[in-house]
Structure 1
Amino acid sequence: MTRIGSSSLDVLPLSLGGNVFGWTADRDASFAILDAFTAGGGDFIDTADSYSAWVPGNSGGDSERIIGEWLASRRPEGVVVATKVSQHPEFKGLAGANVRAAAEASVTRLGVEAIDLYYAHFDDESVPLEETVAAFGALVTEGLVRYTAVSNYSAERIREWIRIADELGVARPVAVQPHYNLVHRNDVEEHIVPLAQEFDLSLVPYFALAKGFLTGKYRSTDASAHSSPRAAGASAYATTQGLQIIDALEGIGRTHGVSIAATALAWLRAQPTVAAPIASASRVDQVADLLDGARVELSADELDQLDRVSEWTPAAV
């Protein structure tokens, strides 16, 4: 189990992504995935109030509603649910009144007394940061939210958020959700990880499997020909270096008897300040691989091999 930052949230080091619920996984498939995840020891679910407003016929909050129905049906103990605010069609941005209204709507859809972990989904520079920080702090003080976090924020803005929180005497964020994986390392390792180490923040990375590329499904540059809705995004990683990373993951995974995806998650899990990578499953038969990624332990030599094959050059100082 892994503790998220300075919080009391103690979770299996893998977060199940709820972005597919109501999109590539319908209600029944979503229930089956959630059942398999929790049966295998998973206890950390990630969603957002905007999922999946981009799907024709959806309005936003679709993933939260499915998760809420599942929670009401199964009544699982100890499951941690994270959600986010700023992108729902009816609750755009991070103005104080909007943050509160969006949080109340999420609580209703999820059917919970309080949101365990509440993210500012994207920075909103049109609103004074003081207003946003105060709104998040008030949600914690009033018990609507247990802990706060930020997603897609620069290191500079996170540092400023923490400064303001301390000045206002409200809760600091406990986690950061960045885009981070074996084929996307630079910005996080240069800027976000040092900040997280300084302030005892945990990383909960999204795109942990690079939109599916790090499953090994896309082994050539014509990956966009696949029928998956995410194939075009995954194909962008099918470079010479990207395919070398897949080969290395496959060899290491074979040693441990786990998949390419599980090995990629294990590498990410082992990085400084990372608490729980986020990975999603559109089918129940994909869940076991994800859970393997939460448990397999790579050796120092194996981690070094993956570091080297995915090496990037830091920016000049």
Structure 2
Amino acid sequence: MKSIKLGNTSLETAPIVFGGNVFGWTLDEKKSFKILDELLEKGFTTIDTADVYSRWAPGNNGGESEKIIGKWMKDRGVRDKINLATKVGSSMQQGGDKDISRKHIIKASEDSLKRLQTDYIDLYYTHWDDDKTPVEETLSTYQKLIDAGKVRYIGASNLSPERLQASLDAAKKENLPKYEVFQPEYSLMARRKFEENIREICDKNHLSVLSYFSLASGFLTGKYQKIEDVEGSSREMFLKDYFNEGGKRVLDAIWEVSNEHMVSEAAVSLAWIMQRPGITAPIASATKISHLKSFFEAIDIDLTTEQMKRLNEASAWREDLL
């Protein structure tokens, strides 16, 4: 399995990054360990998490995903084999304020390191912008963490085009750490924001792009066909807006292409992202070891120009996205 370099870093990833949001949410510790063991064995060594994962699960307070990953790495003695990415900026409180100030980042990074049971984070993301902290303050704080050996490289997620560009400009002008990776929401159900406003900035500044919600919280696996399938479940808040004519059009196109290749719908959805311009790799999760089959299917298949066109047309909300 080929490795892909992330930005101007020494980090490399498999063509698919594993999303750790499921740990402590839809997977308990025992099942999480089994998935992590299988991932490592199969060569998927880049794990993406955040300090607030998985706070939305009943009884959770945030940090559960980091705790499980940290316990697993220590138990297995595999920290040096894992490219570990986590994030800062969200509140541990539902509906709480975003915060990327120096004070918050310093405190949150120490908390993450403790939960992860490690001395350093390979890739540390600005998770959400607070739209008020000067970008120089955020980047200089990361410089402090890098100088202390607690962070190796930095990335950003969910920043507006304006704040992302301002951060890149400040890094160059003030000789501060530069974001090397950008993480946007991007899938067959969510294209416009990245393609219209962010992709060009990432291309011009040589940022790797790792897409999150690549399977639209499971919608693009074809598992959920109607709103009743998710009502009352932990996924309802993420999927409720997809059950419409646009969603059906996308699912029908995926189903057709998956049958032509004799692979899963999830594989087609991931392969489409992997073949889109400006994308380095998708982030995807799995709750069963059997689900990982779709990762290998996605890596192995090559969607034709005609198949990509069909998927593009089914998912485009604007003509200029084709």
Please, what TM-score do these two structures have when normalized by structure 1?
Answer: 0.92
CA RMSD of aligned residues (A): 2.1
The code of the aligned residue for 2:9 comes to S
Report the Cα offset of residue 265 of structure 1: 0.6
Aligned twin of 1:146: 152
CA distance in 1 between counterparts of 2:175 and 2:300 reads 38
Matched, 1:301 2:306: yes
Deviations 1:29-58 (A, max 9, x none): 111111122222211111001112233332
| Aligned counterpart, 1:101 | 107
Q: CA deviation at 1:107?
A: 1.7
SS at match of 2:81: coil
CA distance in 2, matches of 1:80, 1:257: 32
Shift of 1:174: 0.6
- Paired residues of 1:96 and 1:132 also in contact (CA < 8 A): yes
Stretch moving more, 206-215 or 272-281: 272-281
> Is contact 1:122–1:152 with CA below 8 Å preserved after alignment?
yes
Change (3 A) 1:40 1:256: farther
| Match in the other structure for 2:188 | 182
Deviations along 1:126-145, one digit per CA (max 9) or x if unpaired, are 32222112112222233211
Residue in structure 2 matching 1:86, options 82, 86, 89: 89
SS in 2 for 1:105: helix
Partners in 2 of 1:66 and 1:126 — Cα distance? 33
Q: Matched residues in 2 for 1:10 and 1:20: separation?
A: 23
- In the TM superposition, what are the counterparts of 1:164-175 in structure 2 within 5 Å? 164-175=170-181
Distance 1:56 1:217 in 2: 23
Q: Which amino acid aligns with 2:102?
A: G
Question: What's the counterpart of residue 53 of structure 1?
Answer: 55
Is 1:5 the equivalent of 2:11?
no
Question: 1:128-147, aligned counterparts within 5 Å?
Answer: 128-147=134-153
In the alignment, the residues of structure 2 paired with residue 71 and residue 285 of structure 1 have an alpha-carbon distance, to the nearest angstrom, of: 22
* Counterpart residue number, 2:297: 292
User: Partner of 2:28 in structure 1?
Assistant: 26
CA positional deviation for 1:88: 4.3
Asked if 1 retains the 8 angstrom alpha-carbon contact of 2:123 and 2:155, the reply is yes
Q: Could you say which residue in structure 1 is the equivalent of 2:46? A: 44
In 2, the alpha carbon distance for the partners of 1:235 and 1:124 equals 27
Matched residue of 1:236: which SS?
helix
Task: State the structure with bigger RCO (CA 8 A, min sep 6), 1 or 2.
Answer: 1
Deviations 1:80-103 (A, max 9, x none): 111000124389611112212211
d(CA) in 2 for partners of 1:296 and 1:191? 29
Native 8 Å contact 2:98 2:129 kept in 1: no
- Deviation digits for residues 53-72 of structure 1 (CA, Å, limit 9, x no counterpart): 23333222111010011111
More moved, 77-86 vs 262-271: 77-86
Which consecutive residues of structure 1, in runs of 5 or more, have no partner in the other structure? none
> Structure 2 vs 1, CA of residues 89 and 309 (structure 1 numbering), >3 Å: closer, same or farther?
closer
Q: Distance in 1 between matches of 2:260 and 2:40?
A: 27
Task: Tell me how far 1:5 sits from its aligned partner.
Answer: 1.7
Task: Specify every segment of 5 or more residues in structure 2 that has no aligned partner in the other structure, as ranges.
Answer: none
Task: Give the distance between the partners of 2:60 and 2:237, measured in 1 at CA.
Answer: 22
Q: Contact 1:216/1:260 (CA < 8 Å) preserved in 2?
A: yes
Call closer, same or farther: CA 1:54–1:235 in 2, change over 3 Å: closer
Comparing 287-296 and 155-164, the one that deviates more: 287-296
Q: Specify the alignment match of 2:283 in structure 1.
A: 278
Structure 1 counterpart of 2:304, one-letter code: S
Name the % identity.
Answer: 38
Structure 2: distance between partners of 1:167 and 1:130: 10
